[in-house]
Structure 1
């Protein structure tokens, strides 16, 4: 359970998005993306990656309009937290059959067993029941 506290932000992101992050869910920025990131944000002190499952869809426009594409970025440490959180979800739901249980089913199983703060759901207002 102590590991869950370290992983709370990543677990909340996973329970919200229901994405099973894997190594191939991340890609290093290309030179143009890295240059734009450094110009607009800062020079990162650790490797940064695009989060592929969260990247928005680009819509083509007619004419000479420029299109701005926003990327979802994760630092190396954020990336590792997401990957560790996925491993935690599998370990915490290990009594479920591995081959026949989807990731979504594991999340549903754990939503009933983990505290609301871990799964990113607001705690029920206890004063309403009185």
Structure 2
């Protein structure tokens, strides 16, 4: 994928998220996380050896697979902020058939896509639609 295709993919993820066509949830220990073809352990970002922050990462099912927005926190990052600083964001896609996942974009590899990944992360992280629905349900009960 070239830079423009990656940007288009991220833009489509943003659009689908805004339209509630992608329902993101926090990644859990029970979620299957497939490695990249050149990755030994998907819980560690190989370029920087930063560990995956499961509690700050997200997954959304799409058709027969899932999109993953993974957050790898460096040892120098004190806390995850929004937008994430001192972190690497990795947007990946995987399905049940494949042995590996595909990385669409990575904020530490390409600065061009980094701002798009931060925009997607902020949209997902700040989504309060479920809380707003709960408030509406409470007020209407």
By the TM > 0.5 criterion, same fold? no
TM-score by length of 1: 0.31
Kindly indicate which of the two structures has a greater share of residues assigned to strand. 2
TM-score by length of 2: 0.29
Higher relative contact order (Cα pairs below 8 Å, separated by 6+ residues): 1
Kindly indicate which of the two structures has a greater share of residues assigned to helix. 1
Structure of higher CA gyration radius: 1
